[in-house]
Structure 1
Amino acid sequence: MANSYTYTEAFEELQIIVAEIETGKVNVDELSEKIKRASQLIALCKMKLTATEAEVDKLLAELTEELPQSDSEPPEEE
């Protein structure tokens, strides 16, 4: 499986495989290969989601560190 797949591409291929299996378009001889491919795509999607979550957490932590900390209350609006 190529690492150049985007999350969207992998997810779309996975949806096609699931639809084929659900509608019975996959014969018994192909089923094992379809399941194996689906498993690879799920692993890829999970890896990309985990990496994205880590990156977002890192960026949010950096943003929080950059914001000035204020001990005073914000001014009340009238």
Structure 2
Amino acid sequence: MAGDASGEGEDSRDAEPPRYRVLILSQEGQPVEIIGFTAYGDDAASAIAKSMVDGHAIELWCARRLVGRFEPEGD
């Protein structure tokens, strides 16, 4: 999911960025917290979600689309 190849990329920043949701999951896999944020694409959103992994698995969603699931290291 590479960025726009139209040069500087400034035009893509004029549009409203997509809304994402991070679900912080319990050990049983149930959401214990939901955090919404905007990011310019899946790669940026994934980096933000990965930084939230702290002993709990994280699911990253954009609308109804699961972008990724990130597990805590060592589990």
In the superposition, the TM-score normalised over structure 1's length comes to 0.26
TM-score, with normalisation over the residues of structure 2? 0.27
More strand by share: 2
Larger radius of gyration: 1
Higher helix share: 1
